[in-house]
Chains A and B, each alone.
Chain A
Amino acid sequence: MKARFFGKLTCLLVSSFLVGCSGTYHSYKESLSYAFNPEPDVELTLAQVTASAADLVYFRQGEHRQITLALAFIEQGQHKWVSTDNVVIAMQQGRVVRTQGFANDLLYVESEIADPLAQGINIVNGANWQSKVDWAVDEYGYPVSSTFARPQPDTLSLFGQQFDVLKVVETLNYDAPSQYLRFNQQWQNIYWFETSSGQLLKTQQKFSPLQIPMEFTFVSRAVRLISKGERNATN
């Protein structure tokens, strides 16, 4: 009788531990699963991009998979790109000026002078810019200064086509005193403009040294350029 009771109790305890562990085990298994079998990047065909009613951009943050954002709104000089889970990224003349939906959103970018990035391929070597930035983690008015280098010729390959581009490198400095030890107060943003149209085709950028870099590839623009025949076929 006693043995039967303790046997049943043991079974009950073992099964309760298994239930308690299953949540942790499941998430551990999922983490391992992602590490060894990460979801693939989104890659669209020319036909898919052409068929899209909205302009599309590839977006990648750090090492995460590439996804697609759609252009939802154009207003007040900003292009607002939206993900399927309602993350919003507002860009102004190719620069991210606001985000909504990230762990640390960029709330606001302010400058007393015009952004030299608006000049695109006509950016003057040594052009500089100062801005102040607000972040959702309660950081307000953080000064960022930047300098642009002369655009350099480069090529971009998209949809099997080679595009002649001008690569613009912006070197940025985070001028704010830091609460924490920061080893790196300087970084670079890169912009690739298609040579003949001057359109921005790709950019890698961030607005603070600790921010995970964001990469945008403007696939709808590329497809329009392809269809207009404005490419340098090398194949």
Chain B
Amino acid sequence: MRLIKPLIFSGLFLLSPMALAKVAVTVDQQTFMFDSAVRLDAVLAVTAKERSVYWPAAALYRVNDADVAQLRNTALGLLDKLVQQAIPEQQVLLRQLTAEVNSWQLAKRLPLKIDLDLARLSLAANPLLQDEQYLLRLPTRPKNVYVFGAITNAGKVLPHQAVSFAQDYLRLVTRQSADHNQLTVIQADSRVIPVALYGSGRAYQEIQPGGVLFVPFKSSLFDKDFTELNRVLVELVAYRVLP
């Protein structure tokens, strides 16, 4: 009789959502399974062991997020609409950009600094992962930056240049239908930084190894579609899983 209550409570616990939660974390095509909800530091202890990780570019993504697919569809819909209206030269570029966007592996990046030391020391940096599929990127220091947008061929991977500014990469691409007044840098650690190229707000901004440089399309007050495309592409590329 004395054992019945503990047995009942144990049974209820085993059937509880937390006890049943399975967590799958994929790192470099290897999947680690955890039978219950698990803290980030425990995941990193297993997955980051013996790796030389460039922590600013480390990222945790939630796989199969419906919002991400929706956003890609929005971008593709806009691109399709613009193709219908564009001159032939622009149509080629927009179709190339459509193919580029379709080629991206997308997942919802968690707004969290991934750092083993931080996760071990601070609960705020050590969330509980539960009942989900995750993708964890633990890169060595990336060697490249990705430039895309209003450039010939729509997208290009370039070697990262030390002590160089965003505008220095423009010498290595050919802009087409581009806004020549500004760029947007999306750092590998997910910060989005507008970069003015002219005027009093002119900025000298370096790109993090693994970062992205978006060359926006020229738009105007009377042409809201390109303005919207620029906005959606910046939002969408933040979900691009770093290669």
Contacts and interface: CB of A to CB of B under 8 A. Distances in A.
Nearest to A86: B121
Residue picked from B56, B117, B204, B207, most chain A C-beta under 10 Å = B117
Contact of A140 (B118, B121, B162, B204): B162
B162 A80 contact: no
A108 B52 CA distance: 11
B54 interface: yes
A73 B56 contact: no
Contact of B117 (A80, A108, A110, A143): A80
Contact of A141 (B50, B115, B117, B163): B163
Interface of B is mostly: loop
A107 B188 CA distance: 13
Contact of B141 (A72, A80, A108, A136): A108
A56 interface: no
Interface string A79-110: 01010001010100000000010000001101
B206 interface: yes
B230 interface: no
B122 interface: yes
Nearest to B205: A138
B121 A88 contact: yes
B50 A100 contact: no
Given A100-B117, A179-B204, A140 B52 contact: no
Contacts of B117: 73, 80, 88, 90, 100
A108 B206 contact: no
- What interface size band does chain B fall in? 20 to 34
B169 interface: no
Interface string B161-194: 1110000000000000000000000010000000
B51 to A, nearest CB: 9
A141 B162 contact: yes
B208 interface: yes
A107 B187 CA distance: 14
Interface string B200-215: 0000111111000000
Contact of B162 (A82, A138, A143): A143
A186 to B, nearest CB: 18
A72 B56 CA distance: 21
B160 A140 contact: yes
A176 interface: yes
A39 B190 CA distance: 39
A132 B204 contact: no
A132 B115 contact: no
A176 B165 CA distance: 13
Given A107-B55, A107-B56, A108-B54, A132 B162 contact: yes
Contact of B122 (A73, A86, A132): A86
A138 B56 CA distance: 11
B52 A76 contact: yes
A142 interface: yes
Interface string B115-145: 1011011100000000000000000010000
A112 interface: no
Contact of A139 (B118, B160, B161, B206): B206
Nearest to B124: A86
A131 B205 CA distance: 22
B176 to A, nearest CB: 28
Interface of A: 72-73, 76, 80, 82, 86, 88, 90, 100, 107-108, 110, 132, 134, 136, 138-143, 176-177, 179
Given A100-B117, A138-B205, A140-B207, 10 more contacts: A72-B120, A88-B121, A100-B115, A107-B56, A108-B54, A108-B56, A108-B141, A143-B162, A176-B163, A179-B204
Interface of B: 50, 52, 54-56, 115, 117-118, 120-122, 141, 160-163, 187, 204-209
20 contacts: A72-B121, A73-B120, A76-B52, A86-B118, A86-B121, A88-B117, A90-B117, A107-B56, A108-B54, A108-B141, A110-B141, A134-B141, A138-B187, A138-B206, A139-B163, A140-B208, A140-B209, A141-B161, A141-B163, A143-B162
Q: Which 5 A-B pairs have the closest CB atoms?
A: A141-B162, A86-B121, A88-B117, A138-B206, A176-B163
